[in-house]
Amino acid sequence: MPESDAAAGPVAVDRETLRLALVVGGLVLAVLLGFGLGRLNPPANPVRSVPAGSAPAGSVPAGGAAAAGGDHSHAPGTGAHSHDGVTVTQGGGDGATGLSISSAGYTLVPSGRELTAGRAGELRFQIRDDKRRAVTRFAVVHDKPMHVIVVRRDLTGYLHLHPTMSADGTWSVPLTPSDPGAWRMYADFTAVADDGRQVAAVLGADLAVPGGYVPRPLPAPARAATVDGFTAAYTGTPEAGRSAPLRFRVTGADGSAAPLEPYLGAYGHLVALREGDLGYLHVHPEPVRDGDAVTFWLTAPGPGRYRMFLDFQVGGVVRTASFTLTVA
């Protein structure tokens, strides 16, 4: 072998070894770097869609507002999610709504007018978006674009109202509080955003009615209530954290089934409020009756006492039966 070749051989070998080591080292580094970035930036959780049931006739506008007032119930803690293009927002972390004056980019703004017990007054408010603009586009859900619930802090004096909206987005409805004290209002609606999205929300605000306030104790739990000669009774036992059916049957003075008429797109409307923080629970009816009974699905967020208000219509008159419910 010539001297020049002998001298160059080891150098060439060393260079090839070095090049191979650099390539392997680069591959190892790339793999480790990719693994580290993957741990630092995990993939976003996908949005899960819960199928909506069939909505009562007349309660669902074009665009899929069935999800906003559809016939299903959500597990506690369900956050914002989508139903056929409608974003449904839950309130508190356990599934109760109406605990905040603002949610999902919308804010309830009452007019601040003073109400007087026993005197005819007017409740006025606006729903404003995240740009502080008054919202004027709402989807019709359960036959109405806006449902307002007003109740005293001791869960008496319940009212279910349907206000009208003026061109500037101000809602108004006559209101005569029965007693002085601390009251709370809930605005239950589905807003239509600029991009066409429909967002369902329940916003709550306190109302003060001047005068002496003597809280009344919550009535004892009972499965039946009588109003204007009609008796409403239910079967079913809700459990914390689980959706359970409650079957309500309304009978007349003779014990026969009352001839219920559709009200708000169904044969009844049920609202449940939690004692203490007055968390508002979405309770949805089945679209068809089970014989002469009306079935609602209730998900109790946790143990405690709740007050349920069942609206039903007979002979063109809407009546409300009230129940105290204890969830173990």
In a domain, 6, yes or no: no
pLDDT for position 94: 67
pLDDT for position 113: 82
In a domain, 11, yes or no: no
Q: Let me know whether 110 and 164 are in one domain.
A: yes
Within 8 A by CB and 6+ apart from 302, the residues are 76, 94, 240, 241, 327
Q: What's the pLDDT tens digit per position in 226-272?
A: 999 999 999 999 989 999 999 999 999 999 999 999 999 999 999 99
**Domain end position, chosen among 183, 209, 235:** 209
Q: How far is CA 172 from CA 25, 111, 197, 271, 288, in A?
A: 72, 10, 25, 21, 33
pLDDT for position 28: 40
Q: Which residues of the chain have pLDDT under 50?
A: 1-13, 17-18, 20-24, 27-92
pLDDT for position 296: 96
**Domain end position, chosen among 178, 209, 240:** 209
Q: Let me know whether 188 and 229 are in one domain.
A: no
Q: Let me know whether 273 and 174 are in one domain.
A: no
Domain count, the chain: 2
In a domain, 181, yes or no: yes
Q: Let me know whether 133 and 266 are in one domain.
A: no
Q: Let me know whether 264 and 152 are in one domain.
A: no
What is the rounded distance in angstroms from the CA atom of residue 239 to the CA atom of residue 236? 10
Phi and psi torsions of 29, nearest 5°: -65, -40
Nearest to 56 by CA among 237, 212, 286, 213: 286
**Domain end position, chosen among 145, 176, 209:** 209
Q: Cα 28 from chain centroid?
A: 50
What is the rounded distance in angstroms from the CA atom of residue 308 to the CA atom of residue 302? 15
Q: Let me know whether 169 and 294 are in one domain.
A: no
Q: Let me know whether 149 and 173 are in one domain.
A: yes
Q: Let me know whether 240 and 174 are in one domain.
A: no
Q: Which two tokens stand for residue 234?
A: 């239910």
pLDDT for position 87: 43
Nearest to 85 by CA among 197, 188, 194: 197
In a domain, 22, yes or no: no
pLDDT for position 34: 41
pLDDT for position 26: 52
In a domain, 29, yes or no: no
pLDDT for position 82: 33
What range defines the domain where residue 110 resides?
66-209
Q: Let me know whether 76 and 181 are in one domain.
A: yes
Q: What's the pLDDT tens digit per position in 80-127?
A: 333 333 444 444 456 799 999 999 999 999 998 889 999 999 999 999
- The residue written with tokens 């070749």 in the block is 5
pLDDT for position 285: 87
* CATH code of the domain covering residue 320: 2.60.40.10
Q: Let me know whether 243 and 200 are in one domain.
A: no
Q: Let me know whether 203 and 119 are in one domain.
A: yes
In a domain, 249, yes or no: yes
- In this structure, are residues 258 and 314 in contact, taking their beta carbons and an 8 Å threshold? yes
Q: Let me know whether 84 and 194 are in one domain.
A: yes
In a domain, 26, yes or no: no
In a domain, 45, yes or no: no
